[in-house]
Each structure stands twice: as C-alpha cells, then as structure tokens.
Amino acid sequence: MERIYIFKRFERFWHWSQALLIILMMVTGFEIHGTYTLLGYGDASELHTSAAWALIALWVFAIFWHFTTGEWRQYIPTTENLVAMLRYYMSGIFTHAAHPFRLTQLRKHNPLQRLAYLGVKLMINPLIWLSGLAYLYYNEINAVGFGLELGVVALVHTIGAFLMLAFLVVHVYVITTGHTWSSHLKAMITGWEEIEDPQQGAKS
Amino acid sequence: MTTNRSIRRVPPWRGLVLAVALAGAALAGSGALAAGKASTADHGKFKELQQSFASGPEVTKACLICHTEAAKQVHSTKHWSWEFLNPATDQKLGKKNVINNFCISVPSNYPFCTSCHVGYGWKDANFDFTAEENVDCLVCHDTTGSYRKLPGLAGHPPYQDTEIPPGSGKFAKAVDLTKVAQKVGRTSRDTCGACHFFGGGGDGVKHGDMDSSLAAPDRELDVHMDATGLDFTCGTCHRTSSHDVPGSRYTPVARDTEGAHIPGRQDDSLPATCPACHGQAPHKGGGHAAKLNDHTDVVACQTCHIPQIARGGVATKMSWDWSTAGQMGPDGKPMLKKDEAGRVIYDSKKGDFVLGENVVPEYRWFNGEVTYTLLGDKVDKSEGVTRINRLGGSAEDGKSLIWPMKVFVGVQPYDPVNRTLVTPHTAGNDDTAYWKNFGWEKAIKTGMQVSGSAFSGQVDFVRTEMSWPITHMVAPKENAVRCGECHMKGGRLENIGGVYIPGRDANPLIDLFGWLMAGGALLGALVHGGLRIVRRNG
C-alpha cells in the first residue's frame, strides 16, 4: 500500500466550496425553473444569484492558482491509456483487474477524468456562466441593442444545468471506484490517496 | 347601492372622515389643515363673500369677480363637458356618451347623474354649457365637508332641508353657502372623493381602487395618501394646470418611458404616472433591486405594488346582473337582499350584485388604447360576451406593459332586433322610469328617445365585460406582490402570453431530455455499482 499526497489544500478548499455552491445552485436553479417549490421563488433566485457570484469569485482564484502552479496541465487531454481506462470501467472493475492508470502527483487524473473535467471547464461551465450572466444582465445587454430573447437565454441555461446535473451524478458515483469504496473521497478530504501496490496486483 | 342609499351613506362617512382628519391634524400638528395654512388669502375677509347666497350660481358669480378665468378654464375640461374625443380612435367618449355596465348611461337620467357634474342645472340636453355662473366652484374647493349635491337636483346642493328619498323621513340639511364660500381652499381627497369614490351608484362600486377608505387611509392601504404619513391628496399626482386634471380613463398613459419629472428643471408638467416621480429605475441599490428594475420594461408598477383592490374595508362591485331586476318582495314592493356583512346583493331596482373585497386583479397587456362599444355599435350576443371597452396591447407592440385590471361583468339590456346596447331611463319620478315602474320596454323607449337612437321595442339581455386599469391603493413596498406569486405555474400571470416568465415557462422537450439524461446517468451508476457489488460477493 502506498499513500501519495494528491490534492493540495487550496485544491480541496476549492473543490468542496465549488461542490457546495453548485449543489446550492442546482437546488435553487431548478426551483427558479419551476420544477418544485422549496424556498419560494424570490429567496431561491436571490440565493442563486449570490451563489453564482461567489462561484465566479472562487473561479477567478482557481484559474489564477492553476496557472501560477502549473496545475492546469492536469487537464491536457491524452489518448494514452484511454481505451484501457474505458475497458477497465466496462469490465475490469468487475473482475478486480489491475487499475490501468498509475496515479502520481504530476498525473492525478486518469485520461477519462481529464476529458470529463476539461469538458466541464470548457463546455458546461462557459455555457452556464455566459447564459447566466446574460440572464442577469438581460436588460442591459438588450439596451445596447442585442435583442436577446429571455426564453432562449433561459433555455441555454437550462441545458447547461442538466449537463451539470448529469456530470454530478456520474462524478459522485465514480468517487466509489477507487482502491476502496471510500478512498477517493478520503483523498479529496485529506489530500492523501491510498493506491494499490502495483506489484501485488488486484486485491480488494 | 341605489343613488338614494348612497346619499344616506354620505353623512356618516363625511363625519367620520372629518373627525379622523381633525384628530390626525391635531396629533401631527399639521396634516389635513396644512393646505389651508398655505393659502395667502382668507376668503372669509372678502366682502364679495360676506352675504347670504340663495343658490350655487350666485356663489360662482362672486368667485368669478376675482377668479376671472376660472369658469372658462373649467368649461374646457371633461369635468364640465362630460365629453371627450379620442384622437386615436375618433370615438366620441366622455360620461355623456359612453355606455357602461353599472348604471348604464347618463342621457335621460341627467338630474340624477349630474349630481356629480361640476355645474349647476344640467337637467336635460338643453343645458347651457357656456354659462359661466353654472360652474360649481364649491364642489371641488369646499373645505368644510358640509357641501354636497343630491341626486335629482341636477347638480345643485339642497337650498332648504330636503327629504331624501321622498317619504323616507330622512332629511338632508340645507347647505350654508356663505360658510362654505368663505372657507374655500385647495381640493382634497374629500372633495375629489365626493364623486370619484362613489362612482357607479355607491361607495367603491365602480373602480375598486377608489372608495371612501381613501379619505383618510393608513399606510398599508395607500403608501402615498397615508393620512399620518406622506398625506398626498389626489392633486399631488393629478396636478392640475388651469383647472385641467391630468390622467384619463379614455387615453391613459400605459407606459411612461420618460424619466422622473423634476419641476423647475426640465419642465413643470407632471403626468399622473408612477415614473413621473419615480423614474424608470425606481428600486434603489444593486442585486435584488436591480433585478426588480429589470421588470419595468414588461410590468407596470401597479402590477406589483397593488396586490389587491378594495383593501380598505369597502367592497367593490364585481358583477351586476340587470336581468334579474324587477322581482318584488312578498309585500309586492321593491326589496333589498343583503349578505351577512349587511351589503346589498339584490335590489329590485337593479338586480343581482356580486361584491368583492381584497380582490386580486386580473392582468392584461395594455398600451393605453381603449376602444368603446358605443350606442349604435352592433352587438353580437352569440359571441358570449360583449366588451364595453377593449384594451389594446400585446407583448410585441413595444408600447404595452402588463397591467392589473378590475374586470367588471355585467348582464344588461339590449335590443335584439337592432342588435345594439340601450340607454334605459332609470332614475326619475315619471311614468317611464325603470326604478319607479319596473317596465323595461317603457324605460328603454324613453331612454333611447332622449339618446336619439332607434329602439325596436324588444328587450333582451346580453353579457358584458368592462376592464378598469387599476392604479390607486398603492401598498407599501413590504406588501408588494411577492416574486413567487407570478413566477410559478398557476400564478397571477398564468394567462399572460408573449413573455418568458421563469418559474412558469419551460421548454418541455428540453426538460424531458434533461431528466432522461440525468436519470440515465443515475441508472447507469446504480447498475454499474450493483454489478460491482454482485461480482465482489460472487
């Protein structure tokens, strides 16, 4: 058994604050959408907006951190081991096969994670944020002559929300696919990930 | 709700109002009497007014000695002519010409209806509209609360003690014209309210957002008129220029796109709109306030800030069914039926009423264009509802906002052969007046003769609807309509089209795909995880 320090303090802080904010925005967002009534529309929309600003602030810091630490490289997509990873999730994981990916501090995401997170960062987030800001500044944007339709803005924002929800579901499940059911979760809390000794092969 | 009863209701209201106003003034040390203090003239010292007056016109002659242009100014207003030509539709409107679904129409009922005219003696079509002494100065400028005009007197006050209604044993005291004339002052909620609170034949009947509770309202009822707060009078917003009062039922400003008017800087005009004072971004601050300001391109201020109408304890009429009028009591005489609160819900003279308090308005796109169904316009009963007035407006025309409305429903007589609305002769002591003889044919024949319109002799009833844009009884901000009341399915704006309302509208296809995707992800995770557990144990 080996323990390596994967997630630095800022990363963990960033991850969990973001998780909290995104879940909060999901809960309030779908209320604004009219899916259910929980807090009341007014409170839900105010909370949603406040959380959005907090998340934007958090992200400004996170982007700064990623570039100053070079951690942004963790998201460079790669095809190396990609098929192996897919095969692992589709069959190997059921037969306790060896994990095809060897975690290091320089490569803390497997190629599937890289792709997924990159997708979130380059597609889902911008979709949500741009449409969200358009939602927020709808009148100002139209005042300068853009002719936005609120219905279209809302539609795009909703699509982004559903994509994020689907990501969240898969993401939460994939937490359980570590060395043990909870090892990934522990790593995200303590920073330390337990990894199997590659020499010993699969063992639960 | 008859005109007679409305008269009986006036004195207690007046007394109460005066008492409250005086108490308020005494407590606050200002208030109701402030207007009088601000005047630079004590009319009691004017020689012209130190005499006994035999009639209203005599008082007016005395007024005109100093206020030489006043009568001419009044002559040019709707308050005098009861006539208005809508330049947009070319329709000849005004009280004199329109038909409504309350008391229906003025012609043939002049002496009764004109108790709310700013003149003396309009008893029939021969009234001299050029006579200056026939302008009634006192009805608007009385400060004593003792001046009033009685139905049937064609706009005159009682000059001697008058039994009203005749045979009732109840007397209206003669008005002391000298006292009233010597104490004239600015208009007040009481003077405007003497007519406008009682439109449609009784307190609060017609408008729903104007009734006697506005004489001395608290903050909750009207944040501007709050008698112990801002204490606005009607004239604060409806600021007259040469006796002409801004604000119109016929050509209202539905969307005031200008900024706040600052007297003395840009111009001196003050349209009676909310933005005239509050501008286009009335909510101060960022965040939530900014989001509220975003709404002003779609929603009239009134829509959020008048959560209900008839909030002051005075019920407003919501429907009036004339077709059931004429049923007599067991004694063969006209009768009244009252609800638990003692409010008249049936009157042999008028039919059935539905009353409402704290009524949530209906909402419509409105651009300020109003078209009336006038006498002579064809009415099609098969349409189900005849619209007495049609309000223009849509989400797309760039001139409309979503406005609150009192939608008043009526069932009223019409001529099924000529297919027109009719103008029945209702009030009066003659043989054809409906309220005396209960015969529609005779009443309509007389009424239509006076209106100069054809009547086939047949009577049927048609369902009508009239929309009244709501603009008074502005609640304090903490009582404004909450976000969720519109931003939900089945909310206040459920039937408003042409605008995306978060919380109400969503694309069902996107929602379906979205939930399928998220649900599919969950299902996949569960199956995957389940398999892992099974394989591990197995």
Q: What is the pLDDT of residues B437-475, one digit of tens each?
A: 999 999 999 999 999 999 999 999 999 999 999 999 999
Write the DSSP symbol of residue B535: H
Strand partners, B355: B317
Interface probe, candidates B298, B500, B527, chain A, greatest A C-beta count within 10 A: B500
Yes or no: say if B113 and B210 are a contact pair by the CB < 8 Å rule: no
Model pLDDT, residue B266: 56
The pLDDT, as a whole number, for residue B312 is: 96
| pLDDT on residue B36 | 45
pLDDT (mean) for B165-194: 93
SS3 assignment, position B208 = coil
Which pLDDT belongs to residue A203? 39
Q: What is the dihedral of CA A122, A123, A127, A130, to 10 degrees?
A: 20
So what's the pLDDT on residue A102? 73
- B510 with A158: Cβ contact below 8 A: yes
Residue B534: pLDDT band by 50, 70, 90 thresholds? confident
Beta pairing class for B316-321 and B351-356: antiparallel
Q: What is the ipTM of this complex?
A: 0.89
Q: Point out which residues pair with B407 in neighbouring strands.
A: B467
Answer whether A94 sits within 8 Å of B287, measured CB to CB. no
Going by pLDDT thresholds of 50, 70 and 90, the confidence category of residue A7 is confident
**Radius of gyration over every alpha carbon of chain B, rounded to an integer in angstroms:** 27
Optimal mutation site among B291, B293, B535, interface A, most CBs of chain A within 10 A: B291
Where residue B64 falls among pLDDT bands split at 50, 70, 90? very high
Place of tokens 């040019």: B76
8 Å CB contact between B231 and B215: no
Tokens, residue B390: 């049609």
Query: Helix or strand or coil: residue A170?
Result: helix
Q: Is B506 within 8 Å of A158 when comparing Cβ atoms? A: yes
Residue A157 pLDDT exceeds 80: yes
Phi, psi dihedrals of residue A192, rounded to the nearest 5°: -100, 130
Q: Average pLDDT of B106-129?
A: 95
Which SS3 state, helix, strand or coil, does residue B468 take? strand
β pairing state of B370-372 and B316-321: unpaired
**A159 part of contact set with chain B, CB < 8 Å:** yes
Report chain B's mean pLDDT, rounded to a whole number.
90
pLDDT above 60 (res B13): no
Q: Examine the pLDDT at A84 and tell me if it is beyond 60.
A: yes
Q: What are phi and psi of B82, to 5 degrees?
A: 50, 35
pLDDT at B37: 54
Mutation target for B interface from A89, A128, A169: give the one with most B CBs within 10 A. A169
CA angle A106–A108–A110, rounded 5-degree value? 120
B291–A155 CB contact, under 8 Å: no
User: For chain B, how long is the longest CA-to-CA vector?
Assistant: 115
Taking only Cα atoms into account, the Rg of chain A, rounded to an integer number of angstroms, comes to 20
Is residue B415's pLDDT more than 90? yes
CA–CA separation, A33 vs B398, rounded Å? 26
C-beta pairs of B426-430 under 8 Å, 24+ apart in sequence: B426/B103, B426/B104, B426/B109, B426/B349, B427/B3, B427/B109, B427/B111, B427/B112, B427/B113, B427/B151, B427/B152, B428/B108, B428/B109, B428/B111, B428/B112, B428/B152
The pLDDT, as a whole number, for residue A178 is 78
From start to end of B142-272, where are the E strands? 162-163, 171-172
Closest CA to B308 of B240, B266, B372, B363: B363
pLDDT at B225 over 90: yes
Candidates B455, B462, B206; CA nearest to B310 is B206
Name which residue leads in pLDDT, A113 or B344.
B344
What is the average pLDDT across A69-87?
82
Average per-residue pLDDT in chain A? 87
Q: How far apart are CA B320 and CA B208, in angstroms?
A: 14
B525 CB burial (10 A radius; 0-12, 13-18, 19+): middle
Mean pLDDT of A116-136: 91
Distance from CA of B480 to the nearest CA of A (A): 12
Instruction: Say what the pLDDT of residue B144 is.
Output: 96
Rounded-to-integer distance, Cα A124 and Cα A115, Å = 13
Please tell me the distance from the alpha carbon of residue B258 to that of residue B260, in angstroms, as a whole number: 7
Q: Would you say residue B17 has pLDDT above 60?
A: no
Predicted local distance difference test score (pLDDT) of residue A2: 78
Each residue's pLDDT tens digit, A176-188: 887 788 888 888 8
**Cβ of residue A20 closer than 8 Å to a chain B Cβ:** no
Give the pLDDT confidence score for residue B4 in this predicted structure.
40
Helix (H) or strand (E) holding A32: helix A9-33
> What is the predicted pLDDT for the residue at B250?
92
| Token pair recorded at residue B181 | 């004339």
Q: d(Cα A26, Cα A32) in Å, to the nearest integer?
A: 10
Give the best residue of B295, B485, B494, B517 to mutate against chain A (max A CB count within 10 A): B517
Q: Does residue B487 sit at the A interface (CB-CB below 8 Å)?
A: yes
Q: Which of B293, B294, B483 sits opposite A41 (nearest CB)?
A: B483
Residue A197 pLDDT class (50, 70, 90 cuts): low
Chain B: residue nearest A33 by CA? B503
Closest chain A CA to residue B533:
A94
What pLDDT sits at residue B263? 64
Among A176-190, B219-233, B374-388, the range scoring the smallest mean pLDDT is A176-190
More confident residue, B51 or B262: B51
pLDDT (average), residues B370-380: 96
Cα–Cα–Cα angle for B303, B308, B312, rounded to 5 degrees: 135
Q: What percent of chain B has pLDDT over 90?
A: 81
Put simply, whether B297 touches A (Cβ < 8 Å) is: yes
Above pLDDT 70, what percent of chain A?
95
Sort out which chain B residues have CB atoms less than 8 A from A154's CB and list them: 500, 502, 505-506
Confidence of residue B30 (pLDDT cuts 50, 70, 90): very low
Question: So what's the pLDDT on residue A202?
Answer: 42
CB B350 within 8 A of CB B363: no
Out of A37, A96, A155, name the one closest to residue B507 (CB).
A155
